[in-house]
Structure 1
Amino acid sequence: MKFKKWMAALLAGTLCMGMMAGCGFTPINAEEATEQTTAFAGELELILSQKDEYLSYLDQAAKASAEAHGCTLSSLDCGGDMDKQLEYVKAAAESETGAILVVLADDTRAGEVIEAAGDKPVVFVNRIPQDESVLDETHVYVGSDEDMSGTYQGEALAAYFEEQGKDSVNYLLFKGTEGLIHTAKRSEGAIRALEAAGISANAAEEPVDCGYDRAKAMEQMTVMLANGLDMSEIDCIIANNDAMALGVIEALKQNNVDMSSIAIVSVDGTNAGLQAIRDGDMLATVHQDAVGQASGAVQAAINLAGGADLMEGISYEQDEDNSFVIWVPFEPVTADNVDDFN
C-alpha cells in the first residue's frame, strides 16, 4: 500500500514516553517525511471518541501525516461522551478548520455529527456509522472492514484446533463497548468462523463488557478465577482488542495459571500484542493499520477541504456498494508472520 509504505518512513526509532510507553507503540514524527504538495494546506481537526492505546497511536499518525502535507491538525478527546463530541464538532464547524475527522463515540449518532458540522466536510475514521446511508460526497468513512477482524480471529483458532483434532471448544469472550458495531462484528465473527470450520464453540461464561480497557479485562479475569473458574476447561480466549487480551494474560500469570493449552486471540496488532505472540502468550492478533487509517483519513479530509477528487492520492479500495467508504485492510498475524509487522 502506498500510504503504508510512505508512513512507515515516519516511524522514529526512539522510545515511547508516558502512556505510549505502556502499550509499546513507536512514536511518529514528520521530520523525515518527504514534503507533500496539496491544494489544501490549512487546518484540520480530529475529534476522538477517547484516547485509548490504539487511538492514541492513530492520533499521533494523523498529526504526522497532516504535517507532511503542510497542514496542521489538532485533536480533542471527548472521553467517550457523545454529547461532548457533538459540542466539539459544533465548535470546529465555527472555526477555520477545513475538514473534521471523527472517531465516533457512538456509531448510531453519525447523523447528529453531520448536522453539527454544518457545511464542513466530515471524515469518519476507524468507526463506521451504523447507518451508512448518511455518507455522501462530503461525508465519508476511512477504516477497516470489521466483518474481517473477527473472521481472522476465528480462522486462526480453527486452524489451531483442527491440528489438535478438536471439534468442540469452550471459550471466554472479552468484549469492547457494548452497542458499537465493531464490538458486535468482532465478537460474532470469531464464533461464526469457528463454527463454519465445523468446530462447536461453547461459552464457558457470559461474555464480559470491558470497554476495550486492559485494566477492566484484567479485573474481570481475576474475578472469574476468584469465583472458581476452572481454566483447565477453557480452550481459548477471544478478546476484541490487544489491550484486553494483555490484561487477561497478566491476570492469568499473576494467578499462576498454566496458559500452555489456552489459545488467546485479539485485534489491533499493537507492538505489545505482537510481542505477546513472539513470547508464546498469544496465538494470533489481527493487525489494524493505525498509520494507514490515519493517513488515508487525512488525505480524504485534504481532498474534501480542497475540492479535489475524494480518491486523489489514495490507493486503498472503495467499497463496491458504497463509494464513500474507503477500506484499509485488516491483516491476520500469527507466529508465522509476526516479524513482518515490526
Structure 2
Amino acid sequence: MIFRQLFDTTSSTFTYLLADEVSKEAMLIDPVFEKTQRDLALVKELGLTLTLVADTHAHADHITAAWVLKQKTGCKIASAKVIEAEHVDIHLEHEQAFGIRGITLTALSTPGHTDGCMSFVLSDHSMVFTGDALLIRGCGRSDFQQGSAQKLYESITQTLFSLPNDCIVYPAHDYNGREQSTIWEEKQFNARVGGGANETDFVEYMHAMKLPHPKKIAEALPANLRSGCPEDGQLPPEPDWANLEYTYAGVPEIDSEWLEQNLSKVTLLDVRQEDELDTSNPLDADVAIPLGELRDRVGEVPKDKPVVAFCRSGRRSSLAINILKDAGHEQVANLKGGLIAI
C-alpha cells in the first residue's frame, strides 16, 4: 500500500493518502479545501487515480476539499449517513465496509465530538483513522455540534480501545507536531481517558474545559454540510493565462508544447550560467540572468507579460519562480523538464 500523511499548518489538520500499488486507485481521508492543489499534484506525480474521498466528520475548523476534488477528478465522496451532507455518494453506517480496489476500510461510528464522527479502520486492523474522536494523548472536544462527553467516552473505551494494541492511531489533528500513536499507548497514557480513567474522570475533565470556538466554525460547518461546495456552486478561480500544472513542491509549470504556441505572449527568462549559453539552445531568451544573480537583478525582468523561467533541467528555474513571486511577479511559470525535455 502507498501511504502518505499530509499536514495543513493553518488548521493543524492531517490528510491521509492511501493507494493500492497494483490498481493505482487512491483515496484521501479528510482533505482540506486550501490544499486541493497540493493533493492533486501528489496523486498525479505518484501515477495514481483518485477514486474516493472520505471525511471522518463535519469539521468545524476547516472546509473539506471533498466537493472540489469530486469536480476535478470524478471521485466519489463518503461520509457518515447521520450527517446528511449534500453531494455524498456513499452514506456510511456503523461497521460498513468501503474503500478502493485493493484497500478495504470499515467505518466505525464513534460519536461524542459530533454525532456524525466516524473512525476508519483498515481491514487488517493495522491502522485506524480516528478523526477527532481519539487524538494523540487527547480527544476531540464535546461542547458543541451535538457533542457528548458520555458518548465520546464510550466511543473511545468500547469501540476504539477494542482494536488491537499495536493498531496505529492516525488522528485528524495534532497541535504539537506528533504524527501517530498506537491503541496501547493511548490506553496507557492518554491524558483524558487513559491509565484506567473511568467515565466520571473523563466527563468531569471534559466539562471543565473552557475552549473558544474554532475561528472558522461559522464558515466551515455550513460549507461542510455541502461537502465543501461553495455557496455559489462554482469552482474557485484559477490562473487562466496558461495551462498551468502544479508540482507537489508547489511549482507552477507549463510544457514545451504550450510554450511553443505562446512564445509571443510571455517573457522568457534563462537562469543558466553564462558558460552554458550556446547557439544550440532551441529557445531565444528575452532575458538571461544566472540564478545566483537573480535576486539582485530581478528588476531587469519586465512585468508587462507573464514570465516563463527555464534552465537545463527545470530545477534551478523552479527556484527562480519563488524569487520572481517575492519580487511581485504574479504570472510566472517554470518550463517543465527544462531544455532537456524539449
What TM-score results when the alignment is normalised by the length of structure 1? 0.26
Q: Kindly indicate which of the two structures has a greater share of residues assigned to strand.
A: 2
Larger Rg: 2
What TM-score results when the alignment is normalised by the length of structure 2? 0.26
